[in-house]
């Protein structure tokens, strides 16, 4: 009896201590993270890229690349003010502070200075919040920002016998065959990161990817076997803020070399909308495989070939480009290629031209030199050749001559279409 009493008492004491320590740990963690947030804000305001990145968890190379690109924009676009704070706990905002990893709703509120061409204009106020994770660095003990607190769907993709397995006469069913769980057994593995409520659309994305990768890889003459990561953002503001703080243009998808494919999708999005969106973004992934200077090629070429990658999966994907250029031709609104060559200087009014005029030129060029010729042309650009040099090399003419031939072709198509044309419909908005 006495023994039992003592045991119960000791147990109660132990439980109290554990609970006390946990509360203490949580409070300490929260305090430390609040200091980290203040330090991150100061680095952002000072446009100190190195200081900001010292607060970023570097264990995931894709997230690190995204954050490096995010931070690099601070040097281009100063931020007038920023507050990073921890939202109060709520039903959809669980808070968990622990010794090594803490998660909570992070609120980011900031102001962008008025655009350069309107210095008298109002600063632009932005605010987003999302479930965020901070991890304690084992070496330094410092807390580091690890991005969104995602749910992660790992998808193996369709099984495919590895080269070794194929060589065995009996194939995968032969008891002597290696088990198909080797990493080579799946060529199209995917990782989809999403927030709660997006489980089903994440699965649809993972299921759609292998077919898209098969098709687009063939269109680019590449074979990309690494795990393809996709991040699903619930709002455009959140997606924009993940790119960088000054990104305010509308979009529904994003990809840059070394980054994940980022998508804005609704939880109920079906294959019909997911496939063209994924194929466009994966078209960028494949383009970036062609050479180290791929991102320097004209913007219309990047978006044009991405739109071409999506043609097979988009309703009316091919014809929509021709309808758009014929309409612009008739209104005298075809863009000069130089006006749509640079993402940062293209006027918003020419946003659709980048995609549809670019796509139409890529179709025209492909009709002349075939898929292999188009790949070689893109490769020359991705290796850093100028538009003119790449065009001379692959088409045996200057780019000005190619442009003239393309405009003559558009004129011809417009003349052919004009007698039976329906009233002009407005161009479909660009996919992103």
Q: Which residues bind Zn ion (CB under 5 A)?
A: 303, 306
Q: Which is nearer to Zn ion, 157 or 283 (CB)?
A: 283
| Least distance in angstroms from the C-beta of 280 to Zn ion | 6
Q: From CA 204, how far away is CA 199, in angstroms rounded?
A: 9
Q: How far is it, in rounded angstroms, from Cα 235 to Cα 200? A: 17
Closest residue to Zn ion, Cβ-based?
306
CB of 66 to Zn ion, least distance (A): 16
Rounded to a whole number, what is the distance in angstroms from the first to the last CA of the chain?
74
Would you say 129 or 357 has its CB closer to Zn ion? 357
In the complex with Zn ion, the residue whose CB is nearer, 132 or 232, is 232
Count Cβ atoms below 10 Å from residue 322 Cβ, excluding itself: 18
Q: Which is nearer to Zn ion, 303 or 311 (CB)?
A: 303
Q: How far is the CB of 388 from Zn ion (least distance, A)?
A: 24
Considering beta carbons, is residue 134 or 220 the nearer one to Zn ion?
Answer: 220
Q: Which tokens belong to 430?
A: 């660009």
CB of 70 to Zn ion, least distance (A): 18
Q: Minimum distance from CB of 382 to Zn ion (Å)? A: 16
**Rg of the Cα atoms in the chain:** 26
Q: In angstroms, rounded to a whole number, what is the distance separating the alpha carbons of residues 203 and 34?
A: 35
Q: Give helix then strand counts, H and E, for the chain.
A: 12, 9
Q: How far is the CB of 23 from Zn ion (least distance, A)?
A: 48
**Residue with smaller CB distance to Zn ion, 34 or 247:** 247
Report the residue number, 30 or 312, with the smaller CB distance to Zn ion. 312
CB of 252 to Zn ion, least distance (A): 10
Nearest to 329 by CA among 353, 307, 304, 362: 353
Residue 368 to residues 239, 254, 264, Cα–Cα distance (Å): 38, 30, 36
- Helix 319-330 and helix 399-417, axial crossing angle in degrees, nearest 10: 90
Among 294, 268, 135, residue whose Cα is nearest residue 198: 268
- The strand pair at 124-136 and 101-112 is best described as antiparallel
């Amino acid at each position: 009896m006495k023994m039992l009493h003592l045991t119960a008492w000791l147990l109660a004491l132990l439980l109290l201590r554990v609970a006390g320590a946990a509360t203490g740990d949580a409070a300490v963690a929260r305090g430390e993270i609040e200091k980290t947030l203040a330090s991150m804000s100061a680095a952002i305001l000072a446009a100190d890229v190195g200081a900001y990145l010292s607060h970023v968890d570097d264990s995931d190379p894709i997230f690190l690349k995204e954050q490096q690109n995010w931070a690099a924009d601070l040097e281009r676009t100063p931020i007038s003010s920023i507050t990073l704070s921890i939202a109060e706990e709520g039903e959809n905002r669980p808070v968990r502070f622990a010794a090594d990893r803490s998660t909570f709703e992070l609120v980011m509120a900031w102001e962008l200075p008025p655009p350069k061409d309107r210095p008298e204009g109002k600063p632009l106020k932005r605010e987003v919040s999302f479930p965020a994770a901070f991890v304690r660095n084992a070496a330094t003990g410092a807390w580091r920002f690890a991005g969104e607190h995602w749910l992660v769907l790992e998808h193996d993709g369709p099984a495919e016998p590895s080269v070794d397995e194929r060589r065995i006469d009996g194939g995968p069913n032969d008891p002597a065959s290696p088990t198909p769980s080797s990493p080579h057994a799946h060529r199209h593995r995917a990782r989809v990161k999403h927030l709660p409520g997006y489980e089903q659309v994440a699965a649809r994305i993972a299921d759609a990817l292998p077919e898209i990768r098969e098709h687009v890889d063939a269109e680019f003459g590449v074979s990309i076997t690494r795990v393809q990561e996709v991040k699903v953002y619930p709002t455009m503001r959140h997606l924009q803020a993940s790119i960088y703080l000054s990104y305010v243009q509308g979009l529904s998808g994003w990809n840059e070399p070394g980054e994940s494919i980022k998508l804005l999708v609704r939880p109920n999005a079906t294959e019909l909308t997911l496939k063209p969106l994924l194929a466009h973004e994966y078209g960028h992934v494949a383009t970036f495989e062609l050479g180290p200077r791929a991102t320097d090629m004209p913007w219309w070429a990047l978006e044009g070939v991405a739109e071409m990658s999506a043609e097979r999966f988009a309703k009316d994907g091919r014809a929509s480009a021709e309808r758009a250029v014929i309409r612009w031709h008739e209104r005298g609104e075809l863009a000069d290629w130089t006006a749509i060559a640079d993402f940062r200087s293209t006027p918003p009014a020419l946003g659709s031209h980048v995609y549809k005029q670019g796509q139409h030129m890529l179709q025209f060029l492909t009709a002349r030199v075939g898929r292999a010729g188009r790949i070689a042309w893109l490769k020359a650009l991705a290796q850093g050749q100028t538009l003119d040099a790449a065009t001379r090399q692959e088409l045996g003419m200057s780019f000005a001559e190619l442009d003239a031939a393309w405009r003559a072709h558009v004129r011809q198509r417009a003349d052919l279409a004009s007698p039976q044309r329906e009233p002009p419909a407005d161009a479909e908005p660009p996919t992103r």
